[in-house]
Structure 1
Amino acid sequence: MTKRYLIGAFIGTLLCGLMLVVQPAVRTHRQVDCNPELATCVSEFYPYGHGTSDSVIGPTVDGSSLPIELAEDFIFFGQAYRRLFVNNNGHISFRSGFSTFNPSTFPLLFYDIPLIAPYWADADTSQNGSGTVFYRETTDFNLLQRFSREIQNGTSMSFFPSCLLIATWDAIGYFDGRTDRRNTFQCVLATNGMLSFMIFLYADGLIQWTTGDGSGGTNGLGGNAATAGYDDNGDNFFNIPGSGTAEIINITQTSNVGIPGMWMFITTSMQAITISFSESIYNVNENDGQVELMLVLSYPSSSDITIRIDTIDREATVMDQDYFSGPYSIVFPAGITESMFNISIIDNDVLEESERFEVIITSSSRNSNVTSGEIGNAVVIIQDNDATGCITTINGLDYWWTGQLY
């Protein structure tokens, strides 16, 4: 038996062929109660549905929106697009609609199409009450300001968009006509014609299924599970952890900006990414065992970056067994802007003054795009813990003076 029944194929073909779009009537945007165990979470989607100017994709299986003409170019890794399509199966495509229901992880090997996929899975909204896909472009100042603020908080970049494309998959069921589990999620694209960003939003409790019946699922789970991420049909692609596995249902608890349920990406590389230490001086006691250092990227990369860190002896030396030297290899996964690493400190019995060594960023796996930032090297100061006192020199010999006579 084919994946779609005859009536489903007829409806999908009819709607795609006529590009039928109707105005929403009853849905309102959802304000979501946070999981109390989370420090922060996605508390509210961008407004959608009733009370907005949203259009909807009519009841369909594997259908797409009308071509959406944007007011400004959306820059997707070097390519400018003014036209895109919102698709029923949890993705946004360029060039044409994309009806493929069976998800695969990125990069796409058999499809010549750039794709943004907040949650690519086998959806079915062909029946009354089986969910709705909303979308609109907006220049509402309050929403532009909200997006700008979220980018500032997530990446420390100053960016103010000229327009947003908000796409919302609201309470959608899965194939074949199943509504016992539903998914609600949102994708917001933003551009000012030069820089472009996108945010994926998922709320706790509102991702309930991963797989449709046509993808080998049973009761919405198992089989060929959903994929989330993007692929520019070139060198830039990313899979949110858990994609293609049962773990994707936990996407509401994951993030690359520290807010569970929010994933944020810059899709243009108009300037070099810089990398810096978070501090220029790190103090550590000799008996602490290690010193923890943090590296920070100026904004997220679209692919993994590997950074080489070297150490340079000063008063503290490797030969004197003060610390373990580099090099160290630090990996920034795509979308991540902070990484911690440790250098081991050796607790010896030698009485000595405070000593230091330097830590320096020497290279990256993407030298053309990543440069050293404001703090390209840091100093680690080791405080001795063996005794109190001072070192004094008598006749060319160093003595440790504790202030006590024996």
Structure 2
Amino acid sequence: MNFTASWVFVVTWKYGPQQNPAILFQVVLISGSGQSYFLMNYGDCAVLYGQLEAGYDTINSTSYFVIPDSTNGNYQNLKNTTNVNVPGRWAFNAWAAPAIFYPFGSAARDAERLISGDEAYESVALSTPYTFFGRTYNSLYVHYNGLITFNQPQPASGPYYYVTRGAEDFIAPLWSDLDDMGWMGKYWYQQYTSGSVLTRATQDINRYFPQMNFNASWVFVVTWDFVATSDVNSFIHHSAQAITFQGVLISGGNLSFFLIHYGDCAIIYDQVEAGYDTINSIHHFVIPGSNVGYSIPNLKNTSNVNVPGRWAFMGGSENVVGLQMRLQSFSDLTKKEDIETVLQQIKQELVNRGLSSSVEMKLRKIKKTQP
């Protein structure tokens, strides 16, 4: 990790005689290179008779940690404890998933799975059926390799398939041979049928798909996290290169949607792709740049809804959408061949922004005005 500190804040607490304090400890906040860290340093700690705890917590406890011995009455031993092999020092990466991520991990009480090799997957029975481009499913398969399938598990380790001849309905938040990278990895998942997650999903979908008057009744959140380490503490605090992404399936009434979220993503030196496909590829989409390994770190800056790192798609019933535009053209748009050219250009722009490639563009009316 190529880190350079640009700011440091140091605060030290002393209790007792100046030369030989009975209680001495310190916190150091450090930032730079787009990253943040903090240290906790311990000297002598005299007997304390009140309630005691050392560590950190965050809003909604998305990330939290309690230093061992700080709550079990053995706090006088803190000067001998460490997580970095330096007695008395605890070091943490103040990493957290981007705010666009839905809650995940132990704090969200998710089901948790440690990533193993051999293209493993897990079948998940859905508490509410989910409709994906016209087909309704009561279960799905979460793959260690960053893939969600519906009909059956996908044995391929990476995206070795031919677009336009798809044999499977799938959502690929980030499909690659991730479980064979040698990194420590986990994924978490949970279904929701009530609570704040449904409220958040309702707000998000109505923001990106207005005039739907949508109300979420079911949400499925699955999050993958890979870190280039074999050390648990390094994994927890993302103290090495990482790949973190999330898929969110949302349904309500007869409508279905899905979101894909990206955090930090290291370069992937294997075949990789993100997007979705359907049986016979009637509907399919590849997120631009996701099929080029060295472009993967930029996914957290891409979007089709003007929210960096978030892609939003509608995966439910067919819809007819009206689009009113004002165009300037040197072509005669009363000619059919010119109109077809313009419609294809409009379609390509919409597809680039996340609309299904199967969309059909038809002209209802055109009016010529003088400049």
Q: Same fold (TM over 0.5)?
A: yes
Query: Aligned pair 1:116/2:171, yes or no?
Result: yes
Residues 235-266 of structure 1: per-residue CA shift (max 9 Å, x gap) = 22211112322334322222111222111111
CA contact (8 A) 2:254 2:317 kept: no
CA contact (8 A) 1:59 1:126 kept: no
CA contact (8 A) 1:90 1:119 kept: yes
Shift of residue 103, structure 1, vs aligned partner: 2.5
- Structure 2 Cα separation of the partners of residues 381 and 146 of structure 1: 47
Report what 1:404 is aligned to. Answer: none
Identify which of 233, 236, 240 aligns with 2:287. 240
Instruction: State the secondary structure of the residue aligned to 2:258.
Output: strand
Change (3 A) 1:194 1:312: same
CA contact (8 A) 1:151 1:157 kept: no
Query: Aligned pair 1:225/2:267, yes or no?
Result: no
Change (3 A) 1:148 1:106: farther
Identify which of 130, 135, 144 aligns with 2:184. 130
Change (3 A) 1:378 1:181: farther
Matched letter for residue 176 of structure 2? A
Unaligned runs of 5+ in 2: 1-60, 65-94
Output aligned runs, 1:132-211, within 5 Å: 132-158=186-212, 159-173=214-228, 181-192=241-252, 194-203=254-263, 206-211=264-269
Query: Aligned pair 1:271/2:319, yes or no?
Result: yes
- Structure 1 Cα separation of the partners of residues 191 and 358 of structure 2: 35
- Structure 2 Cα separation of the partners of residues 126 and 242 of structure 1: 21
Report what 1:332 is aligned to. Answer: 347
Query: Aligned pair 1:69/2:125, yes or no?
Result: yes
Matched letter for residue 209 of structure 2? T
Unaligned runs of 5+ in 1: 1-25, 33-41, 212-223, 283-290, 293-308, 314-324, 340-364, 383-406
Report what 2:69 is aligned to. Answer: none
Aligned length, in residue pairs: 265
Change (3 A) 1:328 1:101: closer
- Structure 2 Cα separation of the partners of residues 133 and 191 of structure 1: 22
Matched letter for residue 195 of structure 2? F
- Structure 1 Cα separation of the partners of residues 188 and 334 of structure 2: 57
- Structure 2 Cα separation of the partners of residues 72 and 157 of structure 1: 24
Change (3 A) 1:202 1:79: same
- Structure 1 Cα separation of the partners of residues 358 and 190 of structure 2: 37
- C-alpha root-mean-square deviation of aligned residues, in Å? 3.8
CA contact (8 A) 1:46 1:166 kept: yes
- Structure 2 Cα separation of the partners of residues 379 and 88 of structure 1: 55
Shift of residue 116, structure 1, vs aligned partner: 0.9
- Structure 2 Cα separation of the partners of residues 338 and 67 of structure 1: 28
Instruction: Give the number of the structure whose residues are more often helix, by fraction.
Output: 2
Residues 293-324 of structure 1: per-residue CA shift (max 9 Å, x gap) = xxxxxxxxxxxxxxxx96469xxxxxxxxxxx
Report what 2:146 is aligned to. Answer: 90
Instruction: State the secondary structure of the residue aligned to 1:332.
Output: helix
Identify which of 296, 300, 306 aligns with 1:252. 300
Shift of residue 174, structure 1, vs aligned partner: 9.8
Shift of residue 137, structure 1, vs aligned partner: 0.6
Shift of residue 135, structure 1, vs aligned partner: 0.7
Residues 324-367 of structure 1: per-residue CA shift (max 9 Å, x gap) = x967513323655699xxxxxxxxxxxxxxxxxxxxxxxxx979
- Structure 2 Cα separation of the partners of residues 190 and 95 of structure 1: 18
Matched letter for residue 56 of structure 1? E
Instruction: Give the number of the structure whose residues are more often strand, by fraction.
Output: 1
Instruction: State the secondary structure of the residue aligned to 1:120.
Output: strand
Output aligned runs, 1:14-93, within 5 Å: 28=63, 31-32=96-97, 43-93=99-149
Instruction: State the secondary structure of the residue aligned to 2:202.
Output: helix
Output aligned runs, 1:299-314, within 5 Å: 311=333
Percent identity over the alignment is 25
Instruction: State the secondary structure of the residue aligned to 2:109.
Output: coil
Residues 258-292 of structure 1: per-residue CA shift (max 9 Å, x gap) = 222111111123432x232257xx9xxxxxxxx59
